[in-house]
Amino acid sequence: MPLYYFDVDDNGTVYPDDEGSDCDTFDRVKEEAIRALVEMIQNSLPDGDRHKLVIKVRDDRGGVVLQVSLNFEVQAEHRSHGGSSPDSHV
């Protein structure tokens, strides 16, 4: 089975994958990347009003074959809440 490498860019910090995973089809690569992204963002939120998480998948020849990104953003209403911080729950 072909090996794919899932590199992660978490708010600008890059975590390269040097081990790779077996995936039999490209659909499977896509599903893994999407599910991993959702799992990971759940793990890191809430951590502020902005978060960008990207997974770039390389094949074993080194080319990027897929990029999945998630942009999280909280926009507070311009309304006073008596000094309390804006609600950043998702």
Partner 1 sequence: MDRQIEPNKNALLRRLAPADLSLLVPHLRDTFLELRSPLENAGKPIEFVYFPQNGLASVVAKKRANVDAEVGIIGFEGMTGSALVMGDDRATHDCFIQMASEALMMEASRFEAALETSKTLRPFLLRYVHAFHIQATYTAMVNARSNIEERLARWLLMCDDRIVGNRLGITHEFLSMMLGVRRPGVTIALQVLEGRGFIQSRRGEVVIRNREGLIDLADGGYGDSEAEYKRLLGDLEIQPQIVA
2 binding partner 1? (CB under 8 A): no
81 binding partner 1? (CB under 8 A): no
Q: Binder to partner 1 among 1, 27, 30, 36 (CB under 8 A)?
A: 36
Q: Report the nearest approach of partner 1 to the CB of residue 39 (Å).
A: 5
The distance in angstroms from the start CA to the end CA of the chain is 38
73 binding partner 1? (CB under 8 A): no
The full 3-state SS of 17-34, as one line of letters, equals CCCCEECCCHHHHHHHHH
CA distances to 41, 43, 50, 52, 83 from 87, in Å: 18, 19, 13, 19, 12
Nearer Cβ to partner 1 (69/86): 69
Contact in structure between 84 and 48 (CB atoms under 8 Å): no
Q: Binder to partner 1 among 29, 55, 58, 72 (CB under 8 A)?
A: 55
65 binding partner 1? (CB under 8 A): no
